[in-house]
Chain A
Amino acid sequence: MSVRVQLEDFDVAAELRALRLASAEIGAVVSFVGQVRDINDGDDVQTLTLEHYPEMTTRALEKITQEAQSRWDIHDSLIIHRVGTLKPQDQIVLVAVTSQHRGEAFKACEFMMDYLKTQAPFWKKEATSQGERWVDAKLSDDEAQARWESE
């Protein structure tokens, strides 16, 4: 179970290969990759800068990982989240989960993304042709996280 916060890009294929080959009991690898969009709220996005709270970020991501581990029978998981200034089509985040069967990995991966969106201390600021602005949190992200509370 590992979490990484980094400025550098990551190689999804290499990361998934390492997770997959860790054990022959793994039958499923599920992953989510987030990438920077070139349009947000109707304006073109030139760059996206991610700020975070370093002392808290790793701890928050580890807590999300542990929660997923306690809910589902998963073999391993990985979260990589980038910080710093990114451009459209840059990768922002990778969440990957391995398990014996697909159901556990699908659920755990979605759960980890939904919690990351609402619990991990990252903030996005975008530079558009209209100037710089902080991205507002979305109600739909809170709702996505709330679904898991009742399960």
Chain B
Amino acid sequence: MNIKVLYFARIKESVNYSTEDLVLPTGVTTVTALKNHLAERGGTWATLFDGQQMVRAAINHELVENMAPISEGDEVAFFPPVTGG
């Protein structure tokens, strides 16, 4: 499955880039599974995505929870809790 992943704010600065195209292995079909997949990269990725830090997600520009399914061609974004207003 091919998806696009975007990172924002503190997370973008930590991983040092803002977007990447990913080919997901079979079985990585939810936000939680994708977070775990990214955490396996180790280092900063593990720190960010091992579940200790609050990381919000959006799929195709809609806020979603961790159980949300990911589909072919989706745009998945990861970011810290929002602080506008």
Query: Do residues B85 and A121 form an inter-chain contact, with CB atoms below 8 A?
Result: no
Interface residues of A (CB under 8 A from B): 34, 50-53, 55-56, 59-60, 81, 92-93, 113, 116-125, 134-137, 141
Main DSSP-derived SS at the A contact region: mixed
Instruction: Give chain A residues whose Cβ lies under 8 Å from the Cβ of B61.
Output: 53, 55-56, 59-60
Instruction: Give chain A residues whose Cβ lies under 8 Å from the Cβ of B85.
Output: 34, 81, 92-93, 113, 116-117, 120, 122, 141
Q: Which among B6, B62, B75, B79 is the interface contact of A123 at CB below 8 angstroms? A: B79
Q: List 22 A-B contacts (CB under 8 A).
A: A51-B8, A51-B9, A52-B84, A53-B6, A53-B77, A55-B61, A55-B75, A81-B85, A92-B85, A117-B82, A118-B81, A120-B82, A120-B84, A121-B82, A122-B85, A123-B10, A123-B79, A123-B83, A125-B9, A134-B80, A134-B83, A137-B80
Query: Do residues B77 and A123 form an inter-chain contact, with CB atoms below 8 A?
Result: no
Q: Which among A56, A93, A136 is the interface contact of B83 at CB below 8 angstroms? A: A136
Number of A-B contacts (CB under 8 A): 74
Query: Do residues A56 and B58 form an inter-chain contact, with CB atoms below 8 A?
Result: yes
Contact with A along B62-85 (1 / 0, CB 8 A): 110000000000010101111111
Instruction: Give chain A residues whose Cβ lies under 8 Å from the Cβ of B81.
Output: 118, 136-137
Instruction: Report the minimum CB–CB distance from A25 to chain B (whole Å).
Output: 30
Query: Do residues B58 and A53 form an inter-chain contact, with CB atoms below 8 A?
Result: yes
Instruction: Give chain A residues whose Cβ lies under 8 Å from the Cβ of B62.
Output: 56, 59
With A51-B9, A53-B8 as known contacts, state yes or no: A122 contacts B80, CB within 8 Å. no
Query: Do residues B10 and A56 form an inter-chain contact, with CB atoms below 8 A?
Result: no
Query: Do residues A135 and B83 form an inter-chain contact, with CB atoms below 8 A?
Result: yes
With A59-B61, A121-B79 as known contacts, state yes or no: A134 contacts B84, CB within 8 Å. no
- B14-55, CB < 8 A from A: 54
